Amino acid sequence: MNWKMSRVVRTVTDIMVVPIIVYGIYLIIHGHLTPGGGFQGGAVIASSTALLIVSYGSFRDYKKDFSSMESLGLTLFILLAIFGILLGATMFHNFGAGTGGLFGGTVPEGINPGYVNTGGTIPMMNIMVGLEVAAALSLILWMMAKASDSMEVEA
Amino acid sequence: MIYFILQLLVLTGLVITAVAVIWFKDLISAAIALGASSLILSLQFYLLRAPDVAIAEAAVGAALTTAIFIFAIRASEREEGYK
């Protein structure tokens, strides 16, 4: 069945999808400073998929891509957790904090506005969780839309 | 005082939308009312100083479950009724 919505709905969707995704990425990357984190940002990104599927009524065959993205996020998360054991510490050991590398800046003492380039492995794990949640919820939406025959799968 | 009035308004809206969910016979209207109820609940979480939970509730409750409910209603009958 063709569930394509009107031109007004599709134009508003086209305008709104990119800000929603950017807001989700902002929530994920600033997860260690502000409210939000991997799960919230991933859910916000997946809501853009819901908007696209509902308004257009068709979506490409991204099932395997979503599944691979979900597995990649979870695998990298677990590897990042186990990497702490390999360095001689416990699981989930924060080996990146204060080393000067990626997300390795030192936090100055006292009240500060919050710096993104700090936190060690916590922002990295937020990014992995965001990848996993966004792909998993998008996959659930894709499967539900396909099973209820409210979406045409493009080639 | 403003905080009290705002919370009273939010709770009233929460009760109204929750009653509307079971009052509607059209299932798509009920799904939209459930989404509105979820959005007002996320506002209440924000007023109770849990912005983290508010974002999760707004994204999952208002957007994703509403879309999944609409997909499920499309696969079945739109009107509720006993024939």
Its domain, for residue A113, covers: 7-154
DSSP conformational letter for A60: E
Tell me, yes or no, if A17 comes closer than 8 A to chain B by beta carbon: no
Residues B47, B3: Cα–Cα separation, whole Å: 8
Its domain, for residue B67, covers: 2-74
The whole-number pLDDT of residue A98 equals 81
In-domain check, residue B37:
yes
Where helices occur in B24-64 by DSSP H, the ranges are 27-47, 51-57
Does the pLDDT value for residue A88 go beyond 80? yes
| Overall domain count for chain B | 1
Q: What is the pLDDT of residues A61-80, one digit of tens each?
A: 999 999 999 999 999 999 99
| Whole-prediction pTM | 0.90
For chains A and B, what is the number of CB pairs under 8 angstroms? Answer: 56
Reported ipTM: the value is 0.85
Cβ neighbours of B67 in A, within 8 Å:
47, 50, 53-54, 141
CA distance B18 to chain A (A): 23
Tell me, yes or no, if B51 comes closer than 8 A to chain A by beta carbon: yes
Does the pLDDT value for residue A14 go beyond 90? yes
Tell me, yes or no, if B52 comes closer than 8 A to chain A by beta carbon: yes
The whole-number pLDDT of residue A3 equals 84
Out of A40, A46, A145, closest to residue B55 by CB: A40
Q: What is the pLDDT of residues B5-54, one digit of tens each?
A: 999 999 999 999 999 999 998 999 999 999 999 999 999 999 999 999 99
Cβ distance A148 to B59 less than 8 Å, yes or no, reads no
In-domain check, residue A19:
yes
- Cα angle, residue A47 at apex, residues A25 and B46 outer, rounded to 5°: 75
Structure confidence at residue B82 as a pLDDT band (50, 70, 90): low
CB A90 within 8 A of CB A84: yes
Q: What is the pLDDT of residues A113-147, one digit of tens each?
A: 888 898 889 999 999 999 999 999 999 999 999 99
| Overall domain count for chain A | 1
Distances in whole angstroms, Cα of residue A78 to Cα of each of A2, A12, A75, B8: 42, 39, 5, 45
In-domain check, residue B18:
yes
In-domain check, residue B36:
yes
Q: Write out the H or E segment, with its range, that includes residue A152.
A: strand A152-154
DSSP conformational letter for B62: I
CB A85 within 8 A of CB A91: yes
Cβ partners under 8 Å of residue B79, min gap 6: B25, B26, B27
In-domain check, residue B82:
no
In-domain check, residue B65:
yes
Highest mean pLDDT among A35-39, B36-40, B69-73: B36-40
Q: Write out the H or E segment, with its range, that includes residue A154.
A: strand A152-154
